[in-house]
Amino acid sequence: MHRRHFVCGAATSVGLIAFASAGLALDTTSGDFSADKSGQPPEAPALETPPISKKGGHDEILGKVDADRLYDDVRHLQTFETRLTGTPGNAAAGDWIDSQYQTHGHAAGKGSQQTFKMPDGSDTSNRLYYPFADASSYILICAHYDATSEKPSDSAPGADDNATGVAVLLEISRALVGVKLQKGLILACFSGEEQGLVGSQVCADIAAKEHWPIDLLVNLDMVGFAKAEPANIVVEYDHGNRVLENDQTAANYGAILGSLAQTAGGLSVKYTDIWNSDYMPFEAKGYPCVGLYDDGAEEPFYHSTRDTTDNVNKEKLASVARSILATILEVGVLTT
């Protein structure tokens, strides 16, 4: 999680929504894209509980979430020593993520890479996966897979920040095998987040240029740390950033996410604005954006070699996965 001022890269773009498996050659250049916030994010108003559908089938799908498997995925991502953008460990982690999706058994599933250059000249890639067939509109769930620390070239385990978010994406894919939704789903793992949201800026530029029909973006950045019972989660929703026209839609989706985090996830909820993570470039393009965050950026392990699985609560991680799954089923409209 990049919780400070950031500078993102602009990108040239090529077709992606009807993607192929080959990487895309994209070049980034320095731009001026600041969150213009310091300290803790401003709290946003609590949202009223919206009406939630009572359709059958949700409980069975939510019951597929496996806390031990989630924890194992976080632990495996930690073994790459460093996932610093541009390092061999970062590339190997991205390849491992791609390989996991291929084992899940989605009949129409297909993946894609968006390969681009960082400002230092190193190459890296966003890893995208579409579990379902093409649709007229999409939900995009994203998490960054790169990591940093006080000595990132040597060691950046990045367990909470942000192997936890990636693990939830993988678990969502597993749980949705055989499920049919009215909306499509994009699971996006971004690189270059810790260097200034570079990967998400690349993807947002492409999405805007090609008019990707994204109804909702949900960002998962640090979602496994817990220090309270019941475990708390921060529900972030866009509340007055670059584009004001998407605020009400974001608030509506934030209300759904917050409600389901409590009922399906069993989590204690507080609300804030979105702030310095991979949803920001998409919000600036007009897409409605929300997110979940575990409030761990002030902890001693943050951005350090101590960010290990010792700080990850597997039951909270499972609660987050159920919250996101329930939101996908509600917003995406379960049809079977």
Express each pLDDT in 254-297 by its tens digit: 999 999 999 999 999 999 999 899 999 999 999 999 999 999 99
Q: Which element (helix H / strand E) includes 314?
A: helix 314-332
Counting residues of the chain whose pLDDT is more than 90, the rounded percentage is 77
pTM, to two decimals? 0.90
Residue 120 Cα to chain centre, angstroms:
24
Express each pLDDT in 104-151 by its tens digit: 999 999 999 999 999 999 999 999 999 998 899 999 999 999 999 999
| Mean pLDDT score, 21-34 | 38
Nearest one of 223, 214, 222 to 289, comparing CA atoms: 214
Span of 55-59, 187-191, 254-258 with lowest mean pLDDT: 55-59
Does 176 have pLDDT greater than 90?
Answer: yes
Distance CA 10, CA 200 (A): 10
Express each pLDDT in 216-228 by its tens digit: 999 999 999 998 7
Residue 244, pLDDT score: 93
Residue 92, pLDDT score: 98
3-state secondary structure 27-80: EEEECCCCCCCCCCCCECCCCCCCCCCCCCCHHHHHCCCCHHHHHHHHHHHHCC
Average pLDDT in the chain: 87
Distances (CA, A) of 75 to 143, 144, 157, 162: 16, 16, 9, 11
Does 234 have pLDDT greater than 50?
Answer: yes
Nearest one of 140, 119, 127 to 10, comparing CA atoms: 119
Express each pLDDT in 62-112 by its tens digit: 999 999 999 999 999 999 999 999 999 999 999 999 999 999 999 999 999
- Going by pLDDT thresholds of 50, 70 and 90, the confidence category of residue 32 is very low
